[in-house]
Structure 1
Amino acid sequence: MSFHGPDLTGQITISYSPGFNYHWKIGTGASTDVYRGIWDPHRALVAVKMFRATQNDDPARVRDINRRLVRESHAWLDLLNPHVLPYLGYCTDLGLSVALISPFCSRGTVKQYLRSHSSANRQNFIIQVAKGLLYLHAKNIIHGDLCANNVLVDDSGNAQLCDFGRAKVIGDEEYRTVLFAGFVPYMAPELFPEDESDVDQLFTLSSDIYALGMLAFEMFTDTVPFDAMGTKSPFWIMARVHAGERPSRSSDKKHRISDAMWEIMQACWAADPKARPTAALFVQWIDGTPSRYLHLPNKQLAVDRSSPAPIDSTSDENVDKDKQLTSQDVRAHKYHTALETGTEVTMEPSPPSVNVHKPYRDLTGQVTKSPGVYIAYGGFSDIYKGIWRNPDTGQSTVIAIKLLRTVYTDYQDWALMFKRLNREARVWNQLNNPNVLPFLGISNDVGAEGSPPALITPLCTNGHVLNYLSHTPDASRLKLVIGVAKGLQYLHTQSVIHGDLKPTNILVSDSGEPLLHDFGRSRIIGLHGFTSRVLGNVGYQAPELIGIMDDVDIDVEMDEEGLADEPFVEQIYSDKLTTKTDIYAYGTVALEIFTGQSPYYYIANEYLKAKHITHGEQLQRGKYNSPHLSDIHWALLAKCWAKDPAIRPEVDMILSCLVAFNNSISSLAS
């Protein structure tokens, strides 16, 4: 397996964040991180893209990572267009993953740019994106993941397409798109097949055009398509798109979209891929239509189409980039101050801290991060190894440091981030049980400058329960399942719903006890809100969570900072989290612990998997043949994943059955 392009190994150095021993992260995706770096021979700033990987990763996953990188470098190689981010090469000495190198775009994504340059000519950006896509299509390349976060703005103010991780070359069977790829609000209806079709073959030039129409909608409205659906799950959105629903023009609060532009968008969103325009026709339509017909008159937007997207008078062209980033950090501190004190946002920065109802230990100044990359990662956070030196006892303890995955340019979401972290600390801090990972406290000086505080816990060297079973195959799966039930029973007696129970959120202590952790989606019964509104793995979710908000229509209000009115949105979602949704998740987790097979593993299509769950189609007994899983266990777990929440048993009953079964086995053995 060979990579494509120049080998830059030994020539790239990743920059460190100001004042901290952390690599300077400028972007993050579902499975990748992007860092700011320096191309040493040229002293040029570059972007360094790497997949997240640790020493504990499954070798099959590492092979898949390399396969994806080979595919991306293949698709990206030799692309030369003003509106496509150039590919500089790759290097193999920056981490466990091979790194792909591209020029550094200081202005960030088009989404970030438009937030701070509201008077920019949006039509011009759309034309540039369309021309970049036209270039790709002329070379028989399907982008596969066109969205606002995958369009950068270069130093000249021009749009450039980036991220070719899901791109494919038409007719090249060696490099294939990953299954179920892309950002759901931008995905065409044909990408949600209702059978076991090969999703890779469904990505076409026309699916790119559908995404282009969605991108135009977001660039004109500053609203993610279908965002008005609020807490509806991605799978609910898939079903509605499949049924013919499209974004509403009512989302255009600032009345930027003209009738002509709306017609072009609707043409891109046609249900029949053959009815959509080509990239060439899209460019012809929009580039040949005067701006006043596509973009409603606004004296701030009266900019010549032939010029690059305009820059504010506060342009950073004469400002040192390091100083510019520091000013962004001040804004992050500004949000934190408001959350800590409950006051209006001020311009003065404040040292980070988290405001929780019950006091907990502040470990600031006592925690040292160990050298090296993260040892584990989740959907929103990275876990590092470190040392806590207790000033009271002088004792040193090996710890895990949980840091929310943040980047300097994501300050639009800082307020929500701190609020969510506050909730996680609040829930976790009140828990004390042998089957719940202890929460030691927080530290304000471990992460990069201006980042949220770190959550500190003991380090579990066994990793999560599936890792533990892989290197301890003789461990009693029944005892592990009982331990998880005990932890869940404790949470429910404390009126706490976990909300995201899955194998990776169950660690194993040195003594072999399962420990529930990651309370990012937990809530306290009677209180609204949870740390993250993004849904977890579909296989562990109850039907009522996947089909969430079917009968509620909401219009999410945005405040002056562009932040969603989260309390109302979260109230609706958090009320859906119940002890019964935890029980459903427990049943699927126990099944995987017993058998090593994930729920519905035999259905590769995630959309189809979600439909099976919401329709109440049961897991198939014949697919889970394991000596560790008896028919008695199966019958008990099947009650847990019943479609009707009322049928699901309480955790007390589950635990008593499992303990009785374990005792009977012990009696027979003796």
Structure 2
Amino acid sequence: MDLSRSLHEREMTAWLSLDHENVVKPHGWTLATEESKESIGFISAWCEEGDLHSYLRTHRPINRYELIRGISRGLTYLHERDVVHGDLKPCNIVMHNGIPKLWGYGLASIIDDRNTYAQESAAFTTLRYCAPELLNSDSGSRDKKTDVWAFGCTAGEVLYDKHPFQGIPISRLYAKLGVESPFDWDSQRYPDELKELVQGCLTRLPENRPSMESVRNALDSDFTARRRAQRRTRLLADLVEVQHCNLTGKIIIDEWDGRSYGNGFKGVYENDTVCVKTLKLPEDGSVTELARRFSREISVWLSLAHENVVKFHGWTLTGEGPICASLISAWSEGGNLKLHLKSQSINRYELIRGISRGLAYLHERDVVHGDLNPSNVVMHNGIPKLRDFGLFSIFDSSTTPALETSSLPYCAPELYNEKDLWDKQTDVWAFGCFV
């Protein structure tokens, strides 16, 4: 690219001053000359998880609302410092430790406009995120309002897993931009107020679009709390089939005990010591479907009674912060088997027999464990007991790959294919590894 050195240095000075969690930190630049043309290399922090486009395809489950909140914060930060991104899209957002970070910002200020957007075929992928006014080569220029449009397109893609104007060929996009919406908004997956906020960013007239500051403030408001409260109320209403084992308010939390349950608490229920295991419930998708899966699994777990299976008592539901269900089960004093094997002289053959009996009992009742490993077997009076069986069934198997809720060393080979799910045969593989 042809550069003006002074313009470049001025922009780089501004970029080097940027410091925000949702903006890639620039370290510096390199400049080279080849055939009388200057080319530039930008040096920035490395982000392990790749760009957002790839991240959306390879990671499940994802808190999509938090993703767009992070993107809005990063873009607002740039705008507050009069930096226009100019080419916001999922490929220009990278992920690090689950945090979205904007990069590629501000390049429009040092690159000849004729080399970007609609004018060059090499940039056609950007056209889907291009504000309508940018198609007017006489008056169109990148500014904060065109960034807001691109944010709306990016947010829509994050929420709906679809490109803007998906299915429409590039050759027809010119006629669609500013005339038709980039997305189908009929989905009931998200609250109306969130859809309306994103739709507002995609208003045809730039002056009618909100500022990124107002978008960020809306996303940072009590919107999340209201949404969670609404989901909690609906979830409780839909869980009528298992209300008889709803122990909310009946459990006294005693202490955290990592010996027996890695993220469990010791509690008291009707004078008995119990384990309280907290499970974050998915916040995307249908509440009714989540309640159906949850009710089904709870009903099955309550019916189980076997010496080698941890006894399940009931559940509680919390609504402060992320929606979490706490699963209440019998307490096992001996800790998990992983620790037990290290600390005691034991009859390993009897241990294997007990585990096989417990797993066979689950399979006879069509319960797949889904994550059999030494940490998910606890000891009580020398008897091995299976725990944490069937938790994956609460999640939507169409969007949650098996590998995300299983321990990799015990995963059957077929689980590395995201299309394959847990079943009795994958449990058998895990049992073999276990033995």
User: How does the TM-score come out when normalised to structure 2?
Assistant: 0.55
Helix, strand or coil for the counterpart of 2:277?
Answer: strand
Query: Aligned partners of 1:545 and 1:497: how far apart in 2?
Result: 14
Aligned-pair RMSD on alpha carbons?
A: 5.0
Bigger-Rg structure (1/2): 2
- From the two aligned structures, give the one with the greater helix fraction: 2
Query: Residue 507 of structure 1 corresponds to which residue in structure 2?
Result: 378
Partner residue in 2 for 1:553: none
Alignment of 1:177-576 (within 5 A): 219=154, 222=157, 251-252=162-163, 254-255=165-166, 259=170, 297-298=179-180, 300-302=202-204, 304=206, 308-309=211-212, 311=214, 321=221, 324-337=223-236, 339-340=238-239, 355-356=241-242, 361-370=245-254, 382-388=263-269, 390=270, 396-405=271-280, 410=283, 417-444=290-317, 448=320, 451-472=323-344, 474-509=345-380, 511-521=381-391, 533-535=400-402, 536-547=406-417, 549=419
Q: 1:332/1:150 Cα in 2 relative to 1: closer, same or farther (>3 Å)?
A: closer
Work out the CA distance in 2 between the residues paired with 1:79 and 1:478: 63
Give 2:432's match in structure 1, choosing from 587, 596, 607. 587
Answer yes or no: is the 8 Å Cα contact 1:442–1:455 preserved in 2: yes
Q: Deviations over 1:255-292 (max 9, x none)?
A: 49873999xxxxxxxxxxxxxxxxxxxxxxxxxxxxx7
Shift of 1:295: 6.1
* TM-score, with length taken from structure 1: 0.38
- TM superposition shift of 1:443: 2.8
- Contact 1:256/1:296 (<8 A) preserved: no
Identity %, equivalent residues: 21
Contact 1:157–1:309 (Cα < 8 Å) also in 2: yes
Distance 2:156 2:220 in 1: 31
Opposite residue 368 of structure 1, the aligned amino acid is I
Determine the structure 1 residue equivalent to 2:121. none
Deviation of the 1:252 alpha carbon: 3.6
Q: 2:34: which partner in 1?
A: none
Q: CA deviation at 1:411?
A: 5.8
| 1:133 to partner: Cα distance | 6.8
Matched, 1:141 2:45: yes
| 1:315-362 C-alpha deviation (Å, 9 max, x unpaired) | 956x995x5554233322343156336xxxxxxxxxxxxx34xx8533
C-alpha distance in 2, partners of 1:261/1:140? 37
User: What amino acid does structure 2 have at the position aligned with 1:383?
Assistant: G
**Residues 1:155 and 1:449: Cα distance change in structure 2 (over 3 Å):** closer
The alignment partner of 1:144 has SS state of: coil
Q: What secondary structure does 2:275 align onto? A: strand
Shift of 1:416: 5.3
Aligned residues of 1:421 and 1:531 also touching (Cα < 8 A): no
Question: Following TM superposition, by how much is the alpha carbon of 1:386 offset from its aligned partner in structure 2, in angstroms?
Answer: 1.6
Structure 1 residue runs of 5 or longer lacking an equivalent are: 1-77, 87-128, 168-181, 183-211, 228-250, 263-291, 342-354, 391-395, 550-572, 591-670
Matched with 2:143 is none
Paired with 1:406 and 1:417, the residues of 2 have a C-alpha distance of 9
Q: Structure 2: state its 5+ residue gaps.
A: 1-14, 29-40, 57-65, 79-92, 101-125, 130-149, 182-201
- Distance in 2 of aligned mates of 1:577 and 1:166: 25
In structure 2, relative to structure 1, the CA distance for the partners of 1:548 and 1:588 (3 Å cut) is same
Instruction: Give yes or no for contact 2:260–2:332 (8 Å, CA) kept in 1.
Output: no
Q: How many residues align?
A: 310
Contact preservation (8 Å) 2:280, 2:322: no
